[in-house]
Amino acid sequence: MSKPGIVAVLAVVSITLIASACKPAASTTVGTTSTTTASTVSATTTTTPARSTTVAATTTSVAPSTTIAPTTTSAAPSPTSAPAIDARAIFAANCAPCHGINRQGVSGLGPALTPASLGAKTDAQIKDTIAKGKAGTAMQGFEGRLTAGQIEALARYVKTVAP
């Protein structure tokens, strides 16, 4: 077989492989959006000086219909659920100037506020100190400036989250 003949055979094999890969799939309907794909492969003709070889045309049309319904990934908050409180941000804005951004304390201003340093304190004692402050120190109370939920989140943060 001559080189152009081999090229024609390889073209037929390639077209056949492409056509078999593009066979129509089953149609699935889930909602209201539709996607259609069409593919066409045309005929190839090769002519050599000694003989002429024609490869029959192969046409494959693929039109799978896939419909996807809209999905919802987040639920709307219920009226009774409160938005998440970012205790780290509250600490950075209100406590870090005296207790340090890494909660290791600032000499002469405020002690460390870490789980290790607060281990002996109860949650109620920590919340009370945040809300009312601490007499005889620079610690002012945040009651009225922070909500009860923010004070509780802040107390839980300093007592349980390692810096």
- Taking only the tens of pLDDT, the chain with its 163 residues reads 555 555 454 545 445 544 444 444 444 444 444 444 444 444 444 444 555 444 454 444 455 554 454 444 455 555 566 679 999 999 999 999 999 999 999 999 999 999 999 999 999 999 999 999 999 999 999 999 999 999 999 999 999 999 8
- Sign of the Cα torsion 112, 118, 124, 125 reads negative
Check: CB of residue 102 under 8 Å from CB of residue 163. yes
Domains defined for the chain, CATH in brackets = 3-68 (no CATH), 87-160 (1.10.760.10)
What are the pLDDT digits (tens) for 80-120? 666 799 999 999 999 999 999 999 999 999 999 999 999 99
pLDDT of residue 83: 76
73 vs 59: CA distance, rounded Å: 41
pLDDT of residue 37: 42
pLDDT of residue 15: 52
pLDDT of residue 31: 45
10 vs 54: CA distance, rounded Å: 13
